[in-house]
Each structure stands twice: as structure tokens, then as C-alpha cells.
Amino acid sequence: MHVNMKKTKNRSFLFMHERISRLKRMGDGALLCVVLLGIQMGMCWPTFAASASMSKIEALLVLSQKIEDDLVTNKSFFMDETLDAYLSSVTSNLITHATGTVENVRVRVIPKEYPYACSYPHGLILIDASLLALMKNEAQLAAILSREVAHLVSRHPLVYADKESGLLNNSASTNKADVLWKALAIDGYAKNVEAEADRDGFAMMKAAGYDMRESIEAFQLLLFKAMGSPSHFFYNKKLSLLPTLQYYYRSISTNNSLAEGITRTQEYRDATQNATVEDVRMRMLRHNYIDVKDVLDEVVQFNPSNALAHALLGEFYRLCGPGPNHLDVAIAQYAESIILNPTNASVYLELGLLLRQTGKYAESKLVLKKYLELKPEAPDVSIVRGYVDEAAPSK
């Protein structure tokens, strides 16, 4: 689902300094996820009055579903049908190899700064786009999802909440429940419960036919990411990850037959590219450039026709690219984006302005003319037309 970013009314147009508005324009027509802080900081959810006829378990499930319903209403997920179908397929395959049963499991992708995964009692698994970017293939993603499915099969989120005294009463709110379940994404469960998820998740992943060596790689990537990280989420903490990594390593080292299996790298990259690129764009809006180049380089390596990835690389090199020729690299990336998507007017504007900045006036005029053709009603038309009509400075 593609949604256009709303532009602020009467926004002043600043050519060379308005970085945020540039990125917003660049993303017109791209995948959009809104209400970032809804998940990151916790929203104030409406109060839910538990029916007297409900059991405590039923009320917990209703609360859990209400949390997802509100997130859907606020469009707090990445909306990508291809990604949703892919994640559903991977999860369904894992569930068929689980030791128990669980129904209506679905995976939703949210924007966060650090690797994140959390399961809710009614079957919702939340993961974040930075986790998708960090994993390199389907097998590595399966290492994470299988543990979350294992938690659901064993009813860990439900049992945990049921034990919390005072969680539910006649005025229990979804906010209370959401805070409780989010705490699991930070602290995890008790060690014996996490060990159970390790054991069942490992068995599930193995039975599904994945290359188990990739599970080691997945947790090593998370561990490396956790080094020096300010995040406190379970999948981004060294002390949380080490027991899991050690268990998987011991299990694999005692069974050499686990070495071969499914990896599915290209399929994974195809399905996750849009969410990954859109997450990068939104991080750049917040002036967060950590790992931006590495993530985008990997996207274009496996999906060289992703026009938005090239445009964002152009923006990255323009703003903070290394080396004396970084503006030339930015120009090349913008140009490649236009070749791949010749209808995105915003990239013509960025390229035209950068060409003008670097003294390439003839090329700049041609590119800016195309921008005016594509957006004749844009609020900046008079300024851009002035650039097109002006004489080149004398040398």
C-alpha cells in the first residue's frame, strides 16, 4: 500500500538547507509508515472494561487484540502486501513444524531504532525493520521468528500476564497490558522460559529444513550490533543473547548433519527491500545516519533496480558522503534513480540543484526543466523557473 506523505501547509521552501523536506519529497509515492512514537514511547490507549462474564484469560486476549486494532487504526505498521505475504509464508512453515499448536499468528513490521521482537498472546508478533535489515537471509530471520513462535505455542505471553497480580480489573486498560508485554521485549522471560524457547525454536527451525549454521550467524550479528548500543531491548543486549547463542552453537556442533539446508537469500532480499529502504528514509528524516550507507549498499547489491535506494544513497553522499568526490557520487546515484524511475519529480529537483551547486549549469537547466514538466503546480515553480532562465555566471 502506497501513501503520500502530507506536506505541511505553507511550508517555506529552502533549497540547500531544508534536508528534512527534501527527504519527504523524495519519498512521495513510497511506502509509508506513520505514528512512529505510538510504539516507541507507548500511547495512551482507551480504557477497556472487562466483562463480568469473561474469564481472566479471555479478557487478556481481548486486551491483546485491542492493542493490535489500535495500531492498525493508527497505521503504525509498514504496509507492504508483498512483505506481509512473505512473512506469513515463513511463519506458517515454522508453525507446521512446531511441537504444539497455535492459530492466527501474524507478523507485523514496525519502525524502531534497534533490533526488536515481541509476541502478544492473541498471536501477534512484532518485529522491526532494522532487524530485517540486519538479517541477511530467510534462514536468519527464521532463527528469530521460530523463538517467538515457540513463546506463543507455549503460551508464554499469556501465562506471564496472567501471573501479574492486579493487571486486570474492571477498569483495566490496554495501556497497562501493552506496557507489560513490551517489558518482555526488554527483559525477556525467566531464564528457564527463554531456554525453553531456545530448545523449541531450534527444533522448529531444524524441522523446517533451514541451514542451522545461519542461526549462529543471526545471533552473532545481533550480538555484534549490541556491543556499545544504548538500547535495552532483549535482542540488543549481550547478556540476553549469549545463552541463546551458546545453546545453538552447542546443538549444532554436536550434529554435523545440520550444516546443509534452506537459506533463501534473494527471496528474502526481494521481500524485505521496500520496508528496509523506507525505514532508512525515515531514519534520515530524524538525522540518524548510522549504518545508512551499509544498508542501502546491500539493498542495491541484491535489488539494483530499487530507485528509492539509489535516491537515498544520493542524499547520503550529498550530506555526509566520505571522500573528496562525494558530490560526484551523489550525482551518479540521483541519475541512476531517475533512469529507474523517470516519474519521480523530487529526484529531478535534487539532482538539478546539486548540478547547479557544482557548476554544471547546462545540465542543471535540463534536469530542472523536467522537474517543472512533472510538477507544473509545485509551490517552488517560480524559483526553479528562475534558475532555468538565468544566465550562467561568467568565468
Same domain for 119 and 65? yes
Same domain for 235 and 289? no
Domain count, the chain: 2
For the cut 80, the answer to whether the pLDDT of residue 322 exceeds it is no
The pLDDT value recorded for residue 384 is 95
Same domain for 69 and 131? yes
- Is 394 within a domain? no
Report the chain's mean pLDDT, rounded to a whole number: 80
CA distance between the termini of the chain: 50
- 277 vs 379: CA distance, rounded Å: 27
| Share of residues in the chain with pLDDT > 70 (%) | 73
Phi, psi dihedrals of residue 45, rounded to the nearest 5°: -85, 155
Same domain for 94 and 209? yes
The pLDDT value recorded for residue 187 is 60
Same domain for 272 and 249? no
Mean pLDDT for the stretch of residues 173-179: 58
Long-range CB pairs of 351-356, under 8 A, 24+ apart, other chains included: 351/314, 352/384, 352/387, 353/15, 353/16, 354/314, 354/318, 354/327, 354/330, 355/331, 356/387
- Is 313 within a domain? yes
- Is 6 within a domain? no
Same domain for 292 and 215? no
CA separation (Å) from 187 to 87, 184, 336? 25, 5, 44
Same domain for 43 and 149? yes
The pLDDT value recorded for residue 35 is 27
Residue-wise pLDDT for 326-377, tens only, equals 999 999 999 999 999 999 999 999 999 999 999 999 999 999 999 999 999 9
Domain boundary among 261, 282, 302: 261
Domain boundary among 261, 288, 317: 261
Same domain for 274 and 232? no
- Is 282 within a domain? yes
Same domain for 41 and 26? no
Of 35-44, 213-222, 255-264, the least confident? 35-44
Q: What is the pTM of this model?
A: 0.80
H helix runs in the chain, sequence order: 19-26, 36-37, 56-73, 81-95, 129-134, 138-153, 156-163, 174-187, 191-207, 213-226, 238-253, 265-285, 292-302, 307-320, 326-340, 345-357, 361-374, 381-389
- Is 2 within a domain? no
CA separation (Å) from 52 to 55, 57, 169? 8, 12, 10
| Share of residues in the chain with pLDDT > 90 (%) | 51
- Is 310 within a domain? yes
Residue-wise pLDDT for 26-68, tens only, equals 543 333 232 222 333 333 333 334 444 556 777 778 777 887 8
Same domain for 50 and 181? yes
Q: What single-letter DSSP state applies at residue 185?
A: H
- Is 108 within a domain? yes
- Is 107 within a domain? yes
Q: Which residue segment(s) compose the domain that 90 sits in?
A: 36-261
What burial letters (b/e) apply to 107-144, b meaning 16+ CB within 10 Å? bbbbbbbbbbbbbbbbbbbbbbbbbbbbbbbbbbbbbb
Angle at 345 between CA 339 and CA 350, to 5 degrees: 85
**Residue 324 C-beta-side C-alpha neighbours within 13 Å:** 0
Same domain for 176 and 99? yes
Same domain for 243 and 148? yes
- 287 vs 334: CA distance, rounded Å: 20
Domain boundary among 226, 261, 296: 261
